[in-house]
Structure 1
């Protein structure tokens, strides 16, 4: 379950004890029924505003980090006290985008989450805003929640909001309709999802929640987007909010990391035939299909795979370094990206491979054949 700042804090920026307790009541009952729970919680920066005398969320990174430094302790202390009413221990896990963009760190995050659950504690996950820089921030916890859901092999991702679901327009506008179910991307055609949250205390909006839902459902995890006050209904499977049905199957951990969390170290431009191969995952990428190498990546680094126009069609983990690939490109059958380390990106369309022109000529005699051949040469056919 992911909960945002606006669902935990007062308008002034401090933690709302009643809201925190209400959420903990729901999660504790769910846990007592035998379901493992991981909580991805925003609120550190918002909780630190009032103690530092700030009336609103600062825009500069340094003061955001200072607010997070003060607020994160208050946030976890409040969760610890509230869950203690049920005898539940809380374990804090702070992550930056760097922790999931590097493959080794990604595995470390997985081991930490699994061990905390195995030892009977409830993980409270948040972005480490105190040390995260603008270059390595998730930007919001919705995407983080989707990645964590995959890490722990969750059966359900619940995204709590200050809005009771996804609407086909501005929820405040008369006539806007709540979508009860989303089966895939086509159901979202024409839907306005670019408005931020209403509180001004968080960073995410509906667009980040829809993107998080896409990440999770593509990996085989259904998602419920609901208002925080309906958290119990969402966890109990009762009709509430918007239900995003899963659209894919669980991918290997490294493929989800590769698609959604990796930081490519270079790029490789491909022939039209190679684009077709990687976009349809019909085989590995061979050096013969490479036309250009960009960046100084090493073997084992993630790279972007581009079509002839420079558009990204896939990501892969290169088995060769850039220098070696430069020597082999266009003429070798060495594998650049194995089939199992390749992930096409959504919407990637393989460039068409043009068929050679064909000309039919009916031949009745050797003389006609000679005339047709010579005419064909003159016409360029």
Structure 2
């Protein structure tokens, strides 16, 4: 099977669309662009494909109603715009998909929601049930409450993680750029890169740009999203939103990134790619060997230092004697509580402080090797 036919025959598909592909010159939602996207997705949905749409545009949709001249830079105004715009965006999708008798459901996520074990399982369960009911979920980052510490950062990365979460067959990233090129597309002589089979294919490729004035992404974020998705065994295509019909039909458009990993769900991929470390735990060589080679949990005895301010359940980096991060995980103690436990065995701590202290600093199930 060719990589492009993998898109056309996918039974479960994640499609991401950027703000710039949904908005007009005034920064507001362009109904014509939105309807064109919906028409293509509804046609594929009618053929029996399960589709999850990861849609940017909430903040952009709030720009015009709030009387703003451009996308706001400060977090509070971004959250206000998202609060106003998310309802307008969902209403537009509900109306457009309703014309095709397709029911949509809104799913708003933050990275903090889905790195903790129970929340991750709940997000997966919710999406699975919506798909079973033939609902088309519309996913976005919960910009109204997300802070800089718990943000995915861009919806390209969120889409890749959702594709992994639901074990999708393929991921399609739509933007205002029709493909990855071997240099700036505006430069004479640059050519489209039709297929990327691995990181070596990107050596020497000039990649830049921060995206449009209403979005947060760019080609760099799409390549990173493709790296995450393909590592999870998901074939990924990057192309322009106005070519969505062609790409869904398996046409020779855009750039296809071939899978380099094996499909299969693992919350550890979320720990690695969806979290930002709130602090660092410095460990000795013995702890590094136990984590990396023996696949053990992190215990207080191997920790020699604590940096940063964090709470129980926050993501932290585990760093070896050279200072390089070797793992990331969800810590079971706060930064104020840990210093008094360092270098001591869990049995000793349990005897002195109580049985609740006979626990790992980071359990193996909540740890990913970097």
| TM category, shorter | 0.7 to 0.9
Ranges in structure 2 where 5+ consecutive residues have no aligned partner? 1-14, 347-358
Is 1:327 the counterpart of 2:344? The answer is: yes
Distance in 2 between residues matched to 1:16 and 1:288, nearest whole Å = 55
Q: Deviations over 1:236-266 (max 9, x none)?
A: 2222111111111235432112212245465
Distance in 2 between residues matched to 1:174 and 1:156, nearest whole Å = 32
Is 1:228 the counterpart of 2:238? The answer is: no
Task: Give the 3 Å change call, closer, same or farther, for CA 200–300 of structure 1 in structure 2.
Answer: closer
Distance in 2 between residues matched to 1:163 and 1:265, nearest whole Å = 34
| 2:117 maps to which of 96, 103, 114 | 103
Task: Give the 3 Å change call, closer, same or farther, for CA 263–56 of structure 1 in structure 2.
Answer: closer
User: What's the CA shift for 1:231?
Assistant: 1.2
Is 1:150 the counterpart of 2:164? The answer is: yes
Is 1:62 the counterpart of 2:76? The answer is: yes
User: What's the CA shift for 1:336?
Assistant: 6.8
| Local SS of the residue matching 2:73 | coil
Task: Give the 3 Å change call, closer, same or farther, for CA 129–291 of structure 1 in structure 2.
Answer: closer
Task: Give the 3 Å change call, closer, same or farther, for CA 133–314 of structure 1 in structure 2.
Answer: closer
| Local SS of the residue matching 1:135 | coil
Q: Counterparts in 2 of 1:142-181, with a 5 A limit?
A: 142-181=156-195
Is 1:116 the counterpart of 2:130? The answer is: yes
Work out the number of aligned pairs and report it.
341
Distance in 2 between residues matched to 1:29 and 1:269, nearest whole Å = 53
Distance in 2 between residues matched to 1:73 and 1:108, nearest whole Å = 23
User: What's the CA shift for 1:277?
Assistant: 6.0
Task: Give the 3 Å change call, closer, same or farther, for CA 234–301 of structure 1 in structure 2.
Answer: same
State whether residues 27 and 63 of structure 2, in contact with CA within 8 Å, keep that contact through their aligned partners in structure 1: yes
Q: Deviations over 1:158-181 (max 9, x none)?
A: 000100111222111122222111
Name the residue aligned to 1:94. 108
| 1:26 maps to which of 40, 54, 64 | 40
Name the residue aligned to 2:200. 186
- TM-score normalized with structure 1 length: 0.80
Distance in 2 between residues matched to 1:306 and 1:227, nearest whole Å = 41
User: What's the CA shift for 1:210?
Assistant: 1.0
User: What's the CA shift for 1:44?
Assistant: 1.2
State whether residues 285 and 335 of structure 1, in contact with CA within 8 Å, keep that contact through their aligned partners in structure 2: yes
Name the residue aligned to 2:349. none
Distance in 2 between residues matched to 1:94 and 1:243, nearest whole Å = 28
| Local SS of the residue matching 1:213 | helix
| 1:79 maps to which of 84, 93, 106 | 93
Distance in 1 between residues matched to 2:126 and 2:147, nearest whole Å = 23
State whether residues 44 and 71 of structure 1, in contact with CA within 8 Å, keep that contact through their aligned partners in structure 2: yes
Distance in 2 between residues matched to 1:187 and 1:213, nearest whole Å = 13
Task: Give the 3 Å change call, closer, same or farther, for CA 304–58 of structure 1 in structure 2.
Answer: closer
Ranges in structure 1 where 5+ consecutive residues have no aligned partner? 346-381
Task: Give the 3 Å change call, closer, same or farther, for CA 319–252 of structure 1 in structure 2.
Answer: farther
Q: Deviations over 1:205-258 (max 9, x none)?
A: 111111111111111111101111111222222221111111112354321122
Task: Give the 3 Å change call, closer, same or farther, for CA 302–227 of structure 1 in structure 2.
Answer: same
Is 1:343 the counterpart of 2:355? The answer is: no
Distance in 2 between residues matched to 1:311 and 1:254, nearest whole Å = 23
